[in-house]
Chains A and B, each alone.
Chain A
């Protein structure tokens, strides 16, 4: 289990995170939602060990994250960042292989190939990363994260996948397939933490939803407890939008209906 306790981050006099606690349990898909500037990315940076909080601490299976070497952390968790630009033309395969090398794989090239085909990019191996579309680049980065934690549980220890807006530049089909891969990762005993903006996707995929606003956790729990009119109105300022159909003249798409 990865847990964050009493996390406070202050930057230029503003509290980006204010006494936030969060437990990421193995086998659970945890999703953080909240408006822009709520502190979601900051929370992920703190939990991944990238940023030191001003107060509080993060522990991985009982070990304080600030006492871990980067190379040990790299074997426990992989992170999918928001859009990444490159100044040098690495191929898609070379990018993904960096993830496989980071976890010490014996055959990183083969593992990279597998990760690429898992995200539906078989045949893209030799494409220079800068020549790919935004969505393809995002999926290459996702494959890199997958190659870094190829098994959800290794040596009896659950591995973690941190996804910062994994669906940002993806079309509807790929949004769902990326989240389904993450879903499988959690079902197999891994830890998943994702930041999402799409509340429908969040409600569909999350086992555990955390609503962040102004650096504080305002609600936490199953989607039925967290995505309701009251919370959505107070956090996003959109009233009366949960579970109602729009006016008849606006067509709408609810991909979650595919589960019927």
Chain B
């Protein structure tokens, strides 16, 4: 079974995977639709798929007020949030792997998530103190914007440290990512020591990595970030493909390399930072989804980026549905589910000789 899963789709004999990419994108869209239905129609309360159907076909009057509220105010924002968070995480992973030319680059592994987390904790702890004026001006966007800048700072620092002469060494990337992540975590610890009881409760709640408590307010706060990243995807796809051949070759093929890198770094930070701000750190989506997709559709970013958005959304919705039903009425943190699924898949992919990790860059 596992063997069959990991077998790459056979590459079309003519070497052109365009059709393959389109077919996989279509299948992913179907999967995402099913995942949305699942997420809307499953829960600890009695509201099920049948009620969802009744609601969707316009007979909402026949539902009890309570059931309607559950669908509209609980399930719908949660599904929307899960969709955005999953898409953001997977796309930021895929973009980062393209930027670093390295299939192991993942915002969670190399400390970008920690940077966003540090900034989010700083926003919670210092939001009434030195950062109060900033918090006042930004209002609802304060937390996501802080997380965005935290993620941006760490991505940028990582890029400066790990890239020499246009080449990124895997070892330096992972090690400096661990160091940056550890430093962020340490600073986060210092802030937590400074926090009062109410702030501690906020931090704990935030840090669980959960879609629980999803509101349309949260959905709206990350919607601009995630949709901005979705909009730029088609414009960076060709550049990221060319970048796989190296900075010089990408320039020779007409790519404005420095501009592309800046755009991608900002996009990674936006997608990753805003999702961390609303859902805490959810691991493995950013590395497992692009990895699996490269097996079935090839590494071209034209299909990989939209595929990651669809696949990441679907994966997170399914994981969230599991998280809130297996131990109902209690909820498991969604990060636990993604790690339980993602970590073994990642290890399996690393062990398998499927040519996806190939050789390291020197």
B353 vs chain A, min Cβ distance (A): 11
What is the 8 Å Cβ interface bit string for chain A, positions 129-155, against chain B (1 contact, 0 not)?
011000000000000000010000000
Residues on B with beta carbons closer than 8 Å to the beta carbon of A90: 241, 244, 298-300
Binds B, one of A24-32, A96-104, A226-234, A239-247: A96-104
CA separation between A50 and B258, bound complex, in Å? 12
Asked, given contacts A84-B246, A109-B16, whether A128 binds B253 with beta carbons under 8 Å apart, the answer is no
Nearest CB to that of B11 among chain A residues? Answer: A126
Binds B, one of A55-63, A69-77, A197-205, A206-214: A69-77
User: Once the chains bind, are B254 and A71 in contact (CB under 8 Å)?
Assistant: yes
Q: Does B217 contact A (CB under 8 A)?
A: no
Nearest CB to that of A69 among chain B residues? Answer: B256
Residues on B with beta carbons closer than 8 Å to the beta carbon of A78: 252
User: Once the chains bind, are B241 and A98 in contact (CB under 8 Å)?
Assistant: yes
Q: Does B358 contact A (CB under 8 A)?
A: yes
Nearest CB to that of B241 among chain A residues? Answer: A98
Residues on A with beta carbons closer than 8 Å to the beta carbon of B255: 70
Q: Does A165 contact B (CB under 8 A)?
A: no
In the complex, how many residue pairs between chain A and chain B have their CB atoms under 8 Å apart? 115
Q: Does A81 contact B (CB under 8 A)?
A: yes
Residues on B with beta carbons closer than 8 Å to the beta carbon of A95: 245
User: Once the chains bind, are A89 and B355 in contact (CB under 8 Å)?
Assistant: yes
Asked, given contacts A73-B254, A74-B254, A94-B17, whether A88 binds B299 with beta carbons under 8 Å apart, the answer is yes
User: Once the chains bind, are B245 and A84 in contact (CB under 8 Å)?
Assistant: yes
Q: Does B359 contact A (CB under 8 A)?
A: yes
Partner of B356, one of A50, A72, A81, A89: A89
Residues on A with beta carbons closer than 8 Å to the beta carbon of B294: 88-89
CA separation between A72 and B253, bound complex, in Å? 10
Q: Does B56 contact A (CB under 8 A)?
A: no
Residues on B with beta carbons closer than 8 Å to the beta carbon of A92: 15
Asked, given contacts A70-B255, A71-B254, A93-B16, whether A101 binds B355 with beta carbons under 8 Å apart, the answer is no
Q: Does B218 contact A (CB under 8 A)?
A: no
CA separation between A48 and B253, bound complex, in Å? 11
User: Once the chains bind, are A84 and B298 in contact (CB under 8 Å)?
Assistant: no
CA separation between A70 and B251, bound complex, in Å? 6
User: Once the chains bind, are A126 and B14 in contact (CB under 8 Å)?
Assistant: yes
User: Once the chains bind, are A81 and B355 in contact (CB under 8 Å)?
Assistant: no
What is the 8 Å Cβ interface bit string for chain B, positions 350-362, against chain A (1 contact, 0 not)?
0000011011111
Q: Does A91 contact B (CB under 8 A)?
A: yes
Q: Does A257 contact B (CB under 8 A)?
A: no
Q: Does B157 contact A (CB under 8 A)?
A: no
Partner of A91, one of B246, B248, B249, B298: B298
Partner of A85, one of B248, B252, B361: B361
Asked, given contacts A87-B358, A90-B298, A91-B298, whether A75 binds B254 with beta carbons under 8 Å apart, the answer is yes
What is the 8 Å Cβ interface bit string for chain B, positions 274-302, against chain A (1 contact, 0 not)?
00000000000000000000100011100
Q: Does B261 contact A (CB under 8 A)?
A: no
Residues on B with beta carbons closer than 8 Å to the beta carbon of A81: 246, 248-249, 252
B-side interface residues, number (CB < 8 Å): 37
Nearest CB to that of A102 among chain B residues? Answer: B253
A-side interface residues, number (CB < 8 Å): 41
User: Once the chains bind, are A128 and B245 in contact (CB under 8 Å)?
Assistant: no
Residues on A with beta carbons closer than 8 Å to the beta carbon of B155: none
Partner of A98, one of B13, B17, B242: B242
A149 vs chain B, min Cβ distance (A): 11
User: Once the chains bind, are B244 and A70 in contact (CB under 8 Å)?
Assistant: no
Partner of A125, one of B14, B103, B248, B356: B14
Asked, given contacts A79-B252, A81-B246, whether A94 binds B300 with beta carbons under 8 Å apart, the answer is yes
B302 vs chain A, min Cβ distance (A): 10
Which of the listed residues B101, B256, B299, B361 has the most CB atoms from chain A within 10 Å of its own CB?
Answer: B299
Taking CB atoms and an 8 Å cut-off, the chain B residues in 7-21 that contact chain A are: 11-18
What is the 8 Å Cβ interface bit string for chain B, positions 84-111, against chain A (1 contact, 0 not)?
0000000000000000011100000000
Asked, given contacts A74-B254, A85-B359, whether A128 binds B11 with beta carbons under 8 Å apart, the answer is yes
Partner of A74, one of B11, B102, B252, B356: B252
Q: Does B201 contact A (CB under 8 A)?
A: no
User: Once the chains bind, are A89 and B16 in contact (CB under 8 Å)?
Assistant: no
Residues on B with beta carbons closer than 8 Å to the beta carbon of A84: 245-246, 249
Which of the listed residues B15, B17, B18 has the most CB atoms from chain A within 10 Å of its own CB?
Answer: B15
Nearest CB to that of B242 among chain A residues? Answer: A98
User: Once the chains bind, are B11 and A50 in contact (CB under 8 Å)?
Assistant: no
Q: Does B238 contact A (CB under 8 A)?
A: yes
A binding-site residues for B, Cβ under 8 Å: 45, 48-50, 69-75, 77-79, 81, 84-95, 98-99, 101-102, 109, 113, 124-128, 130-131, 148
Can you name 11 extra interface pairs (CB under 8 A) apart from A91-B16, A92-B15? A73-B252, A74-B252, A78-B252, A88-B101, A89-B356, A94-B16, A98-B242, A98-B253, A124-B15, A125-B13, A126-B12
B binding-site residues for A, Cβ under 8 Å: 11-18, 101-103, 238, 241-242, 244-246, 248-249, 251-257, 294, 298-300, 355-356, 358-362
Identify 16 residue pairs between A and B in the complex whose beta-carbon atoms are under 8 Å apart, listed by A's number.
A50-B248, A73-B252, A74-B252, A77-B252, A81-B246, A85-B362, A86-B358, A87-B358, A87-B360, A88-B101, A88-B299, A88-B358, A90-B244, A91-B16, A94-B17, A128-B11
Top 5 nearest A-B pairs by Cβ distance? A74-B254, A125-B15, A93-B15, A88-B299, A126-B15
